[in-house]
Amino acid sequence: MLQAQIFIGKDQFFREQPLYEYIMQFLLKQKIRGATVFVGRLGYDESKHLNRPFDLFSFDETPILITFIDEEENVKSALTALRKEVKSGFIITNHVDKWN
């Protein structure tokens, strides 16, 4: 099995809807077994600036992590199709074992 993780910002949009919602709907249409969106409390990127989106009067971008898992060929197929649509975001994959 393969797990994919997509790192984006909460305020990113694609075709007039939040990018994380678009990606989740896309994964559902691709019949991926399961996916979850996590909202980050603290994060940073290449700028090394700490983003604290939940601090009072903060205008920092909220980090979002979308993670999903399925058979390797399904994950790779979904990522290939997604990259044809969406160019933003950082994606990593990990091989995982399924425990019953």
pLDDT above 70 for 41 = yes
Strand duo 90-95 + 34-39: pairing: unpaired
pLDDT above 80 for 3 = yes
pLDDT at position 62 is 77
Give the pair of three-digit tokens for residue 88. 């933003």
Strand segments, DSSP code E, in the chain are: 2-9, 13-14, 17-18, 34-39, 63-70, 90-95
pLDDT tens string 42-99: 776 666 666 666 665 555 577 899 999 999 999 999 999 999 999 988 999 999 998 8
pLDDT at position 50 is 66
pLDDT at position 43 is 72
pLDDT at position 55 is 60
Q: How far is CA 13 from CA 18, 56, 95, 100, in A?
A: 4, 24, 29, 37
